[in-house]
Amino acid sequence: MIDCEGCGACCRYTSEMAVHPDDAFLDNHRDLTYWVADPNSRAGKGYHMLKQAPDDGATGWVCSAQSDDGWSCTVNDTKPRKCQTFEVGGAQCLEFREWQGVGS
C-alpha cells in the first residue's frame, strides 16, 4: 500500500508550482512563496510560487515547507490546495516515487 509517511517525493518536484490566488495557504503561509510577475501582464499580475530549499535528493530541491529531515510536511493541515488534492498512489505520485527511489 502506498503511504506518504517517510516519502515526500512529490515535494521535490514543486519548483514550478504556483499557488492559486484564492488559496487560504496564502493567508497563513505567504512567507513560503515568492512572487513572479507575469511578463504578459500590464496590470501587475503574476504568480505566488512555492519556495524551494536545497536538498540532497534526486532533484536537489525540496519545498521549503518540508521538515529538516526532508520527509514530512510542516504545514500539513494548511498546505496548498494542490497538495491536498494530489492523488496518493496516482500516476504522478508513482512517477515521483520512482524518480526519487522511494520503494512502494
User: Which stretches of the chain bind ligand SF4, using CB under 6 A?
Assistant: 2, 4, 7-11, 14, 63, 65-66, 73, 75, 79-80, 83, 86, 88, 93, 96-97
63 pairs with which residues across the strands? 52
DSSP 24: T
Amino acid at 68: D
Residue 63: CB minimum distance to ligand SF4, A: 3
Residue number with CB closer to ligand SF4 (36 or 88): 88
- Of residues 57 and 83, the one with the C-beta less far from ligand SF4: 83
Q: How far is the CB of 98 from ligand SF4 (least distance, A)?
A: 10
Nearer of residues 45 and 89 to ligand SF4, judged by Cβ: 89
Rounded CA-CA distance 74/79 in Å is 9
Q: Using CA atoms, how far apart are residues 23 and 72, in angstroms rounded to an integer?
A: 21
How many whole angstroms separate alpha carbon 35 and alpha carbon 26?
11
